[in-house]
A and B are shown apart, each in its own frame.
Chain A
Amino acid sequence: MVDKASIVLESGTVDKLMAGSIIVSGAVANGMEVNVFVTFWALMEMRKNAGENTKLGVEAKGMEKQLFSIMKEKKVPSWKDTLKQAMEVGDVHVYGCAMFADLMGIGKEDLDPMIEEVIGVSQFVDMAKDSKMTLFI
C-alpha cells in the first residue's frame, strides 16, 4: 500500500500556506498519497473572492514589503499554483472543513475548484489515521 500524508492547513498567512504547499509537493515527490484538510483562515483564502493574500505571520513584521517584492522579482509561484502543480503530478486530494464552512456560510461553490469536497473532521481523521506523516500548519 502506498504511504499516506495528511496535512491540515489552518493558517491563512502566505508563509505558512507556501510552506504547506511545498511540503505537499515533497510528499508527492516521495510517491505519497496526500490528503489536505483546509480549515479556518486557510479556508478563507480558498474562497474564490479571497483577493490577493498579503498576510504574513508575526515573525515577518516589518519585512512584509521587502519579502513580497523579492518574491515578485524572483517570480516565486503563488502557494495556490504550487499546490495545483502538486495535484497535477501526484495523488493529492484537498478538502474543505465543513464546520468552518458552515460557520462562515461558505458553500462548495464559493471555494476554489481545487477543493474536491467539503467534509467533516471525522471523515478526514479516518483518512489520516493510518498516515506515515501528519502535519498541522
Chain B
Amino acid sequence: MADEIKPDKVVDARGSFCPGPLMEMIKAYKQAKIGDVISVYSTDSGTKKDAAAWISKSGNQLIGVFDRNGYYEITMKKVK
C-alpha cells in the first residue's frame, strides 16, 4: 500500500486524552532528526485535526492521517 511508509519513531498514544497525543508527538518531534518519519497512534478524535494542523503550521510534512479501524495514525516527516 502507498501509505505504508516505515516510520523511524512510533508514538503509541492510544487511550491518552487531549492534549496527550499531540504533546507526545511534539516531544518526539523535538528529539527526532531532520528527515525522520514519526507516526502517532491516537484514539482521541481531536488529535486528528490538531496534530495535522500542527504539522502543517510548523512547516513540516504531513504524510497522512490514516483511519486504522479503532484508532488514527498520523504520520509526519520532520523537515525543519
Contacts and interface: CB of A to CB of B under 8 A. Distances in A.
21 contacts: A22-B19, A25-B19, A25-B22, A26-B19, A28-B23, A29-B19, A30-B57, A31-B58, A74-B15, A74-B17, A75-B15, A75-B17, A76-B17, A82-B19, A85-B23, A86-B19, A86-B23, A89-B23, A89-B27, A89-B30, A90-B26
Interface of B: 15-20, 22-23, 26-27, 30, 50, 54, 57-58
Nearest to B22: A29
A29 B23 contact: yes
Interface of A: 22, 25-26, 28-31, 74-77, 82, 85-86, 88-90
A3 to B, nearest CB: 13
Contacts of B18: 22
Main secondary structure of the interface of A (DSSP, over half): helix
A85 B54 contact: no
Contacts of A25: 19, 22-23
A68 B23 CA distance: 24
